[in-house]
Structure 1
Amino acid sequence: MDRAWFRTYVGVFMILIGSYAFFWHSRDWNTSSRLMLTYALVDHGRLSIDGLEDQTGDRAKFQGHYYSDKLPGYPLLATVPCAFAETVLGLPSHPLGGPAMAFWGTDYWVTLATSGVLSAFTAVLLASFARDLDCSRRQAAVVALAYGLATPAYVYATLAYGHQTSAFALLAAFLLLSRHGEGRNILRIFLAGLLASYAAVVELQVGPVSAIIGFYLIGQCLARTWKPAAIVYFGLGALVPTLVLLLYNLLAFGNPLDMGYFHHATAQFARVHSKENPLGLRTPDWNLVVPLLWGRYRGLLFYAPIVVLALPGWAVLIGRRRFDVAAVSLLACVAVFVVNLSYPEWTGGWSTGPRLLVPLLPFAMIAVASALTAPGAWGKAFLALAVGLAIAGGVLMLLFQGVGARIPQDVADPLVEVVWPLWTGRTPLPMWWTGDRFTRNLSNLAVGAWLGRLPTAWQWVQFLPLVAFQTVGVAYLFRIDDEPSPGASALKSTCVKPAC
Structure 2
Amino acid sequence: MTARSPETRQHAAVRAFLIAVVLFVSFAYFYQGGGWNQNSRFDLVRSLIEQGTLRIDSYHENTGDKALYQGHYYSDKAPGLALLALPAVAAMRPVLATAGVSPGSPRGLVALSYIATVFGVSLPTAAACACLFLLALRLGSSVSASAFGAIATGLATPVWAWATLLWGHALAGACLVLALAAAAMLQQTQDPVRDRFWGFVVGLTAGWATVSEYPAAPASAIVAILALTVVWPSGRQRRWRVAGSVAAGAVICVMVLLVYHRAAFGSSLHLGYSYYQAGAFPWMTHGFMGLTYPKPDVML
- TM-score, with normalisation over the residues of structure 1? 0.53
| Alignment coverage as a number of residue pairs | 283
C-alpha separation in 2, matches of 1:188 and 1:4: 22
> Residues 94, 66 of structure 1: CA spacing in aligned structure 2 closer, same or farther, 3 A cutoff?
farther
Give the gaps of 5 or more residues in structure 1.
Answer: 291-500
CA deviation digits over 1:62-82, x for unaligned, max 9? 111100001111111110111
Residue number among 137, 143, 147 corresponding to 1:141 in the alignment: 147
> Residues 133, 228 of structure 1: CA spacing in aligned structure 2 closer, same or farther, 3 A cutoff?
same
Task: State the secondary structure of the residue aligned to 2:33.
Answer: coil
Q: Which amino acid in structure 1 is aligned with residue 267 of structure 2?
A: N
The answer to whether the Cα contact below 8 Å between 2:40 and 2:75 also exists between their aligned partners in 1 is yes
Q: Which amino acid in structure 2 is aligned with residue 135 of structure 1?
A: S
Residue number among 227, 234, 246 corresponding to 1:234 in the alignment: 246
C-alpha separation in 1, matches of 2:184 and 2:297: 36
Residue number among 219, 238, 244 corresponding to 2:229 in the alignment: 219
C-alpha separation in 1, matches of 2:167 and 2:80: 11
1:215 Cα deviation after fit: 2.1
Q: Which amino acid in structure 2 is aligned with residue 171 of structure 1?
A: V
Task: State the secondary structure of the residue aligned to 1:104.
Answer: helix
Task: State the secondary structure of the residue aligned to 1:67.
Answer: strand
Task: State the secondary structure of the residue aligned to 2:267.
Answer: coil
Which aligned pairs between 1:1-12 and structure 2 lie closer than 5 A? Answer: 2-12=9-19
Residue number among 109, 113, 121 corresponding to 2:119 in the alignment: 113
Which residue of structure 2 aligns with residue 70 of structure 1?
A: 77
> Residues 6, 216 of structure 1: CA spacing in aligned structure 2 closer, same or farther, 3 A cutoff?
closer
Which residue of structure 2 aligns with residue 201 of structure 1?
A: 211
CA deviation digits over 1:380-437, x for unaligned, max 9? xxxxxxxxxxxxxxxxxxxxxxxxxxxxxxxxxxxxxxxxxxxxxxxxxxxxxxxxxx
> Residues 128, 57 of structure 1: CA spacing in aligned structure 2 closer, same or farther, 3 A cutoff?
same
CA deviation digits over 1:416-474, x for unaligned, max 9? xxxxxxxxxxxxxxxxxxxxxxxxxxxxxxxxxxxxxxxxxxxxxxxxxxxxxxxxxxx
Residue number among 267, 284, 290 corresponding to 1:273 in the alignment: 284
Structure with the greater alpha carbon radius of gyration: 1
Which aligned pairs between 1:12-161 and structure 2 lie closer than 5 A? Answer: 12-90=19-97, 92-94=102-104, 104-161=110-167
The answer to whether the Cα contact below 8 Å between 2:67 and 2:275 also exists between their aligned partners in 1 is yes
C-alpha separation in 2, matches of 1:240 and 1:79: 18
The answer to whether the Cα contact below 8 Å between 1:221 and 1:228 also exists between their aligned partners in 2 is no
Task: State the secondary structure of the residue aligned to 1:257.
Answer: coil
- Percent identity of the aligned residues? 30
C-alpha separation in 1, matches of 2:55 and 2:291: 27
1:89 Cα deviation after fit: 3.7
1:261 paired with 2:273, answer yes
> Residues 189, 286 of structure 1: CA spacing in aligned structure 2 closer, same or farther, 3 A cutoff?
farther
The answer to whether the Cα contact below 8 Å between 1:48 and 1:66 also exists between their aligned partners in 2 is yes
The answer to whether the Cα contact below 8 Å between 1:162 and 1:203 also exists between their aligned partners in 2 is yes
1:172 Cα deviation after fit: 1.1
CA deviation digits over 1:114-145, x for unaligned, max 9? 21111111110110111012222222111111
Q: Which amino acid in structure 1 is aligned with residue 70 of structure 2?
A: Q
C-alpha separation in 2, matches of 1:23 and 1:54: 25
Residue number among 181, 187, 190 corresponding to 2:197 in the alignment: 187
1:9 Cα deviation after fit: 1.0
Task: State the secondary structure of the residue aligned to 1:190.
Answer: helix
C-alpha separation in 2, matches of 1:172 and 1:219: 17
Greater helix proportion: 2
Which residue of structure 2 aligns with residue 175 of structure 1?
A: 181
C-alpha separation in 1, matches of 2:280 and 2:58: 22
> Residues 12, 231 of structure 1: CA spacing in aligned structure 2 closer, same or farther, 3 A cutoff?
same
The answer to whether the Cα contact below 8 Å between 2:85 and 2:120 also exists between their aligned partners in 1 is yes
Task: State the secondary structure of the residue aligned to 2:239.
Answer: coil
CA deviation digits over 1:168-220, x for unaligned, max 9? 11111121112224342112111211111111111111111011112223333
- TM-score, with normalisation over the residues of structure 2? 0.87
C-alpha separation in 2, matches of 1:220 and 1:135: 20
The answer to whether the Cα contact below 8 Å between 2:196 and 2:241 also exists between their aligned partners in 1 is no
1:210 paired with 2:220, answer yes
Give the gaps of 5 or more residues in structure 2.
Answer: 1-5
> Residues 281, 143 of structure 1: CA spacing in aligned structure 2 closer, same or farther, 3 A cutoff?
same
> Residues 16, 240 of structure 1: CA spacing in aligned structure 2 closer, same or farther, 3 A cutoff?
same
